[in-house]
């Protein structure tokens, strides 16, 4: 079932996109590389973090460096739990996993860690939006 669509600036749409990436991440389609799933982990975390960016922030970086997005939130007084700070580890999956490269293959353990981190970030974003009166 396709989720209800919202305006591109609505945190609910960012969360819809994060959930979509999370679904694909956990689907484990046969024949796909674990690297491709880890790209979805990075995307889920990025979109969930962007859902929490305060509305007063008119522009946030469009790139995929999760550490910078988390620093932006911390600069607005957001308390970032350690489990969410782990999202920084997903940043390389934004580019090294998209194309053939000399990087090593993602292991099952690395994939499982990416799932755990992405789920933690999405869950945290949902809680933050609910606490702030936003909708996720």
In a domain, 2, yes or no: no
CATH of the domain at 33: 1.20.120.330
- Between CA 108 and CA 56 the distance in angstroms is 40
In a domain, 136, yes or no: no
In a domain, 55, yes or no: yes
Range of the domain at 79: 11-131
Who has greater pLDDT, 132 or 23? 23
In a domain, 39, yes or no: yes
Q: Is 59 left (phi over 0), alpha (psi -120 to 50) or beta?
A: beta
In a domain, 113, yes or no: yes
Residue 59: pLDDT band by 50, 70, 90 thresholds? low
In a domain, 56, yes or no: yes
In a domain, 5, yes or no: no
pLDDT of residue 62: 66
Q: Residue 91 in contact with residue 67, Cβ under 8 Å?
A: yes
Mean pLDDT of 58-63: 62
Question: How many structural domains does the chain have?
Answer: 1
- Between CA 59 and CA 53 the distance in angstroms is 9
pLDDT digits (tens, 9 = 90+) for 17-46: 999 999 999 999 999 999 999 999 999 999
Task: Supply the pTM of this predicted model.
Answer: 0.90
């Amino acid at each position: 079932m396709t989720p209800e669509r919202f305006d591109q600036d609505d945190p609910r749409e960012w969360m819809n996109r994060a959930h979509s990436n999370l679904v694909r991440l956990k689907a484990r389609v046969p024949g796909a590389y674990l690297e491709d799933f880890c790209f979805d982990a990075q995307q889920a975390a990025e979109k969930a973090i962007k859902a929490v960016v305060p509305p007063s922030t008119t522009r946030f970086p469009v790139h995929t460096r999760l550490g910078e997005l988390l620093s932006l939130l911390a600069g607005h007084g957001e308390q970032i739990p350690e489990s969410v700070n782990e999202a920084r580890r997903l940043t390389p999956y934004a580019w090294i996993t998209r194309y053939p490269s000399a990087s090593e293959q993602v292991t099952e353990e690395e994939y499982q860690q990416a799932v755990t981190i992405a789920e933690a970030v999405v869950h945290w974003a949902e809680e933050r939006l609910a606490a702030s009166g936003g909708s996720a």
